[in-house]
Every structure is written in structure tokens, then in C-alpha cells.
Amino acid sequence: MTLTQTITIKKGLLALAVMYACQLVAGIFVSVVINTEKTMSTEILGLLSALIGGSLILLLFWLDTKKNTATVTESSGLPFNKAVSLVLLLLVATHLVAYLYRSFFLPEIGYIDIQGGGSKVFSYIQENSGIIGMVGFLTLALCIGPVMEEVVFRGYLQRSLATKFPIWIAISIASLVFMVGHSPAILWPMYFMFSCAWGYVYMKTGKLSYAILIHVLNNLFYTFVGFSGIKLLA
């Protein structure tokens, strides 16, 4: 499935604003309505907010897609085998660069065993929550999160920017916005690189499903690393 109708930058920016608004509303709802006893940890609050906010965002964009059925078509793009090969090639290449960045560059400047926001939530849930908490995290990391972010950053933002700018500028701007939404800042080069790779996959294949696929595989890799106990989670 691919979003192919030309959209304006205004709509791309509106999609971004809707995403942040939904996350804010979800955060307020969880804090005020669900966490009435003020007993939930920050990590669980964040997980619940992300799950509810992400689900709301996907619902709204699904409704937008249903309303504008002309925007959803199948694109020829690359043949299936070439598209999958591209996904796997970029997956391996980006993780190799990320490994070199974390293992060699960061220690040289005094940063050792740096973990991103997602890894901290994973570690907390693994140590303090039961099966329900882990299922919630995996649902967010392997389903709701990748789909939501690719729909917003590639399907709306990158695609809208590409109507006014060269494609590499569109990919770079969308990736910069994606990057600053993740923490810590010392890992921003990694997030930017990952996002550019996913934007390139979308550009080459013409299908959002392949961008979602490489994003899911990326998160699946770090989830596997997390279960193994190696501190490489982003």
C-alpha cells in the first residue's frame, strides 16, 4: 500500500502536528485519568501514553486515507526481490555503522554504554513488569511505533516536502525532525542515519510497506539485543 497523491507541505506539517498533539493528549489522559493513585513509574506512564497516542494517530490517518481513497494505490516501484534485497542491505549497513559509532567513536569521547530512551524503558519493564508490560512494549516497538512513525515521517512529511524540494533535501529534513524526537542527543547521528535509510527505501520502492518493514526489522534487532543482555539498544 502506498500513498501516491501529491500532498502539500501544509498537510505534511499538519500530520506532524497531529502526531505530537495526540501524544500530548494521551500523556495527559494517562496521567490524570489512569494514574489517579500516582503510583505508576515514569517508564510505564510513557509506555501507556505511547500506546494510546500511537493508536489514536493511526486511527486518524486511517480515517484520512479512507476519506481520500485516491491517495492509496499500489505502486510499481522495485520488483519484490530487489526491494527486499535493498531493505536487508541497508539494514546490515546501517547497523554496522551504528556499531562502529557506539563501540569506537563514543568511547573515544568519553561515552560508554549509552542507552537510548527505548532501551531504558525496555530494561525497566524487563526488571520490574510482568508479561503484560512486555507485551505492551513489544506491541509498541514492533507494530504501533514503526507504522505510526513511517506514516507520519515518510508517508506525509517526506512526501510533502518532496513536492517543493529535491528528494534528498526532503529525506534529510524529515530525518532531522525524526532525529530530534529521540534521545539522548549523543545518539542523534544514529537516528538520523536510520531515518535517512528508511526514507531512501521509501523513495526507491515507492511503497510505505518497505519503509515500515526495515523500521520493524531495526527494532526487532534491538529487541533481540535487549533480551540477550547486550547494551546496544537505541
pLDDT digits (tens, 9 = 90+) for 62-101: 999 888 754 444 455 789 999 999 999 999 999 999 999 9
Q: Residue 226's pLDDT is what?
A: 81
| Cis omega (within 30 of 0) for bond into 184 | yes
- As a whole number of angstroms, the distance between CA 206 and CA 2 comes to 7
* Predicted pLDDT of residue 97: 96
Query: The whole model's pTM is what?
Result: 0.92
Cα(first)–Cα(last) distance of the chain, in Å? 28
Return the pLDDT at 16: 96
Residues of the chain with pLDDT under 50: 1-4, 70-74
